[in-house]
């Protein structure tokens, strides 16, 4: 989809649909007022019939409005004019693209920049509009027998109406940044939505190699199983040995700063399909386990965006890619393995495999002397029970890093909620036979999983994002990967780049 800007009289703009906002109690946004005047009061006349109350999420399409050049006017509800906030603005943008998607319109003029969103400026509003429009038209059609032309997307171009010329640069910057973030989010979705019979660890490695070919600033290295064995990645190998698909440790290095500058490191769980291994999962929802590599997909998507934006920092993205299968070679409950750190782990449940591949990856990345390390994983169902889908569970061993991620989440509305990482929980991981066991019992499952990982991250500032609830929707009409937390991670890295350059 193409995005641009327009100014001038919206009533005379040549496009196939104009989008304007209506507050509750028939209060019109500035653009709606212009359209109403141009149409001789037609807009207000339609509103007086009571078909649109102005509540957030509502919409109404008017056809052939008098003296309006566009054949359609899409009115979207804005809610109470006195209580506008950022979250509601995103709701309005979602409603606009949803309604527009139901029309044959190929072009639109979006006049929502005149809508209040708390204290947010035109740059912020532009990014949210573009990102929501890109999200709203996304479709995964790669696996269709005959993929529809242009992925079935009708809308080709959207222009944003600018009333104040002084905001032109802010809006253009917002379009550029949103396009890059959306490209990363779509890359995440495409990788995550690809089924496990196609999206194997080898497939993920090839995707990372292709990314390096596309962007000279990215270098991809793939560490194979033989080398992982030599390195001593016993925890990782305990997961992948049950599968015919070879595991991969995929390292993508983005170099946007001086070679000696310390990098920011992202580590993603990339279980291409998770049967649970010998501790076999129930069959009813097992198809959702194609999404057990959403952590890896978020790393891939974030590196994509960072490379597009050419951020002046160094970033290392590591994907721990493996398939968890039951076989004669698979790990058994009760097995004890030695991790790359030298610590031994008693595997009491082979379905707690994500932490096993991650712990070796987290030990591996210490060689980069990172500024910070963030791991991203669909790690526990307990995180879903605790927080549902609105928030990602966050754990951190550093208050400043936790604050930076929380701030980036609030800005993008890709939110996190900090969970406890207290020493009192560590005892649940005690083992009589090894240094630790890989599960901590029924209580506080997400917390003890994070506590397990924390034992491998003592040398650097670290945060863990458990995205089991936020990364995908497993069923229903909106089934598929959400692209989260690419928005959060890219905003964090953009903020860090600004801090380092003094922007």
Residues 93, 204 within the same domain: no
* Residue 503 pLDDT > 80: no
Residues 77, 216 within the same domain: no
Q: Is residue 158 part of a domain?
A: no
Q: Average pLDDT in the 7-23 region?
A: 96
* Residue 152 pLDDT > 70: no
Nearby residues of 60 by Cβ (< 8 Å), 6 or more positions away: 46, 51, 52, 74, 75
Q: What are phi and psi of 433, to 5 degrees?
A: -115, -20
pLDDT in tens, 225-243: 999 999 999 999 999 999 9
* Residue 151 pLDDT > 80: no
Residues 124, 259 within the same domain: no
* Residue 251 pLDDT > 80: yes
Q: Average pLDDT in the 284-290 region?
A: 95
Report residue 37's pLDDT band, with 50, 70 and 90 as the boundaries: very high
* Residue 502 pLDDT > 90: no
* Residue 175 pLDDT > 90: yes
Domain final residue pick, 104, 137, 170: 137
Say which DSSP state 61 is in.
Answer: E
Q: What mean pLDDT value characterizes the chain?
A: 96
pLDDT at residue number 163: 85
Residues 124, 202 within the same domain: no
Q: What is 411-472 written as a DSSP string? A: HHT--EEE----GGGGGGG--SSSSEES---STTHHHHHHHHHHTT-TTS-EEEEE-TTTSE
Q: Evaluate whether 210 touches 339 at the Cβ level (below 8 Å).
A: no
Structure token pair of residue 305: 């965006």
Residues 131, 232 within the same domain: no
Q: Is residue 162 part of a domain?
A: no
Alpha carbons 482 and 451: distance in angstroms, whole number: 27
Residues 329, 388 within the same domain: yes
Q: Average pLDDT in the 139-152 region?
A: 84
Cα–Cα nearest to 360, from 466, 272, 452? 452
User: The domain spanning residue 332 has which CATH number?
Assistant: 3.40.630.10
Largest Cα–Cα distance in the chain?
82
Give pTM, 2 decimals. Answer: 0.96
Residues 123, 190 within the same domain: no
Alpha carbons 176 and 346: distance in angstroms, whole number: 49
Q: Average pLDDT in the 352-364 region?
A: 98
Alpha carbons 1 and 100: distance in angstroms, whole number: 14
Q: Average pLDDT in the 133-139 region?
A: 95
pLDDT in tens, 333-345: 999 999 999 999 9
Q: Is residue 160 part of a domain?
A: no
Domain span at residue 34 reads 2-137
Q: Is residue 167 part of a domain?
A: no
Nearby residues of 425 by Cβ (< 8 Å), 6 or more positions away: 440, 444, 447, 448, 451
Q: Average pLDDT in the 278-282 region?
A: 97
Residues 320, 250 within the same domain: yes
Q: Evaluate whether 39 touches 67 at the Cβ level (below 8 Å).
A: yes
3-state class of 63 per DSSP?
strand
Residues 226, 96 within the same domain: no
Q: Evaluate whether 375 touches 448 at the Cβ level (below 8 Å).
A: no
Q: Average pLDDT in the 275-284 region?
A: 96
Q: What is 338-403 written as a DSSP string? A: E-TTS-EEEES-TT--HHHHHHHHHHHGGGG--SEEEEEE---HHHHHHHTTTSEEEEES-HHHHH
Q: What percent of the chain has pLDDT over 90?
A: 94
Residues 364, 233 within the same domain: yes
Residues 216, 310 within the same domain: yes
Cα–Cα nearest to 18, from 80, 60, 81, 79? 60
> By mean pLDDT, which of 7-11, 147-151, 272-276 is the weakest?
147-151
Helix, strand, coil share of the chain (percent; to 5): 40, 20, 40
Neighbours of 51 (CB within 10 A): 11
Alpha carbons 293 and 376: distance in angstroms, whole number: 10
Say which DSSP state 13 is in.
Answer: -
3-state class of 101 per DSSP?
helix
User: The domain spanning residue 113 has which CATH number?
Assistant: 3.40.220.10
The total domain count for the chain is 2
Catalytic residue positions, numbered: 281, 355
* Residue 481 pLDDT > 90: yes
Q: Is residue 211 part of a domain?
A: yes
Residues 219, 355 within the same domain: yes
pLDDT at residue number 127: 98
Q: Is residue 147 part of a domain?
A: no
* Rounded alpha-carbon distances, angstroms, from residue 60 to 33, 74, 85, 100: 16, 6, 22, 10
Report residue 43's pLDDT band, with 50, 70 and 90 as the boundaries: very high
Q: Is residue 173 part of a domain?
A: no
Domain final residue pick, 137, 169, 197: 137
pLDDT at residue number 137: 94
Task: Name the helix (H) or strand (E) containing 483.
Answer: none
Structure token pair of residue 337: 């393995």
Domain final residue pick, 107, 137, 167: 137
Q: Average pLDDT in the 87-104 region?
A: 96
Q: Is residue 28 part of a domain?
A: yes
């Amino acid at each position: 989809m193409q995005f641009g800007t327009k100014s001038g009289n919206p009533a005379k703009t040549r496009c196939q649909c104009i989008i304007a906002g209506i507050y509750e109690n028939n209060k019109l946004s500035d653009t709606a007022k212009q359209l109403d005047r141009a149409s001789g009061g037609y807009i207000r006349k339609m509103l007086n019939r009571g078909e649109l109350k102005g509540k957030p999420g509502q919409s109404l399409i008017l056809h052939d409005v008098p003296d309006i050049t566009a054949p359609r006017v899409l009115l979207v509800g804005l809610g109470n004019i006195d209580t506008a906030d950022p979250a509601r603005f995103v709701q309005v943008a979602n409603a606009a693209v949803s309604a527009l998607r139901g029309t044959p319109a190929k072009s639109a003029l979006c006049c929502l920049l005149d809508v209040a969103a708390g204290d947010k400026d035109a740059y912020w509003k532009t990014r949210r509009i573009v990102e929501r429009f890109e999200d709203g038209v996304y479709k995964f059609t790669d696996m269709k027998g005959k993929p529809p032309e242009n992925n079935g997307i009708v809308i080709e171009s959207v222009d944003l109406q600018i009333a104040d010329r002084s905001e032109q640069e802010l809006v253009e910057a917002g379009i550029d940044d949103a396009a890059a973030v959306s490209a990363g989010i779509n890359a995440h979705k495409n990788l995550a939505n690809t089924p496990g019979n196609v999206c194997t660890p080898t497939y993920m490695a090839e995707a990372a190699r292709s990314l390096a070919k596309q962007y000279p600033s990215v270098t991809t290295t793939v560490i194979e199983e033989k080398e992982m064995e030599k390195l001593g990645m016993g925890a990782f190998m305990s997961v992948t040995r049950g599968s015919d698909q070879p595991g991969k440790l995929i390292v993508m290095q983005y170099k946007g700063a001086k070679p000696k500058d310390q990098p920011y490191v992202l580590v993603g769980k990339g279980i291409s399909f998770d049967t649970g291994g010998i501790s076999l999962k129930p069959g009813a929802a097992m198809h959702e386990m194609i999404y057990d590599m959403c952590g890896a997909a978020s790393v891939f998507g974030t590196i994509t965006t960072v490379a597009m934006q050419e951020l002046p920092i160094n970033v290392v993205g590591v994907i721990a890619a493996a398939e968890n299968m039951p076989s004669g070679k698979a790990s058994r409950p009760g097995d004890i393995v030695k991790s790359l750190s030298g610590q031994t782990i008693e595997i009491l449940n082979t379905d707690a495999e994500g932490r096993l591949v991650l712990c070796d990856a987290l030990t591996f990345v210490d060689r980069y002397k990172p500024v910070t390390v963030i791991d991203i994983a669909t790690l526990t169902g307990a995180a879903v029970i605790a927080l549902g889908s609105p928030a990602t569970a966050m754990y951190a061993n550093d208050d400043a890093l936790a604050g930076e991620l929380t701030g980036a989440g609030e800005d993008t509305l890709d939110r996190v909620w900090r969970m406890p990482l207290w020493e009192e929980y560590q005892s649940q991981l005690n083992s009589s036979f090894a240094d630790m066991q890989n599960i901590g019992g029924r209580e506080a499952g997400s917390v003890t999983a994070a506590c397990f990982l924390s034992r491998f991250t003592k040398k650097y500032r670290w945060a863990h994002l458990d995205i089991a609830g936020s990364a995908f929707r497993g069923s229903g009409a909106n089934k598929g990967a959400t692209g989260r937390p690419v928005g959060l991670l890219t905003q964090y890295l953009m903020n860090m780049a600004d801090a380092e350059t003094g922007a």
